[in-house]
């Protein structure tokens, strides 16, 4: 997920859309993995 976030230049909304996740779910997963905002 950290690499994917870099690919999308930090755009969590675009990354969530590409992964087929809600933004909220993506935020939870990133937080669980300790990936900062």
Domain boundaries defined on the chain? 2-32
Q: Read off the pLDDT band of 1 (50, 70, 90).
A: confident
pLDDT for 30: 94
Mean pLDDT of the chain, nearest integer: 93
Residue 8 to residue 4: CA distance in whole angstroms: 6
In this structure, how many other beta carbons lie within 10 angstroms of the beta carbon of residue 15? 20
pLDDT for 37: 72
pLDDT at 23 over 90: yes
pLDDT for 6: 92
Mean pLDDT of 3-12: 92
pLDDT for 36: 81
């Amino acid at each position: 997920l950290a690499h994917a976030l870099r690919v999308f230049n930090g755009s969590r909304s675009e990354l969530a859309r590409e992964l087929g996740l809600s933004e909220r779910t993506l935020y939870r997963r990133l937080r669980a993995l300790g990936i900062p905002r």
